[in-house]
Amino acid sequence: MKYTIIIFAENKPGVLYRIADLFLRRKINIDSLTVSETEQHGISRFTVVVSRELELIKKVVKQLYRIIEVVKVLEKREEELIFREIALIKVVVKNATERKKIEDITHLSNATVNAFGEDYVVIEKSGTEDEITRLYGMVKPFGIKEFVRSGRIAVLKEGLDRHSGKPKAHPES
């Protein structure tokens, strides 16, 4: 099962290392990881996507709380989130016919052409991982020069009350 773990932590040196190490110790492969600033000064938001069983994820969440700088950790299923990632696909263009085809696919996929040159176009697509994978599959036959995706970012559909109560209070006690 795919879970998105959202970690709020003080923006201090070494926090990413400690977080990554925890996943390493538990031998959990990270599908994607993004880090960014938040609306709150000095607090970073880590979005980690992993595909493992909930029982294990819950233990990891508690161990994440052991990291001194970690303020809040949430583990969420996809239906609880609005989530996106962004991808840039640099596709080979051999001739005008192919260029037209690629552009059509791009538009039908709700993507945009971000840049282009004589023999390539750069498609920018924001969407779910599945949407990006689908688009990638469609343009792949034309030839891919480069492909990069950002990793998931996500916001909660509802109920983030990070500012209320004790930051580290645990559901169990």
Q: Which of residues 47-106 bind other proteins (CB under 8 A)?
A: 58-59, 62-63, 65-66, 68-71
- Of 68 and 160, which CB lies nearer to other proteins in the complex structure? 68
Is the distance from CB of 33 to CB of 17 less than 8 angstroms? no
Burial class (CB in 10 A: 0-12, 13-18, 19+), 3: buried
Hey, what amino acid is at 49? V
Segment near other proteins (CB under 8 A); pick from 78-86, 118-126, 135-143, 163-171: 163-171
Question: Considering only CA atoms, which of 87, 97, 85, 94 is closest in space to residue 136?
Answer: 87
Is the distance from CB of 74 to CB of 6 less than 8 angstroms? yes
Q: Which of residues 7-46 bind other proteins (CB under 8 A)?
A: 9-10, 13-14, 17-18, 21, 25
Residues that bind other proteins (CB under 8 A): 9-10, 13-14, 17-18, 21, 25, 58-59, 62-63, 65-66, 68-71, 166-170, 172-173
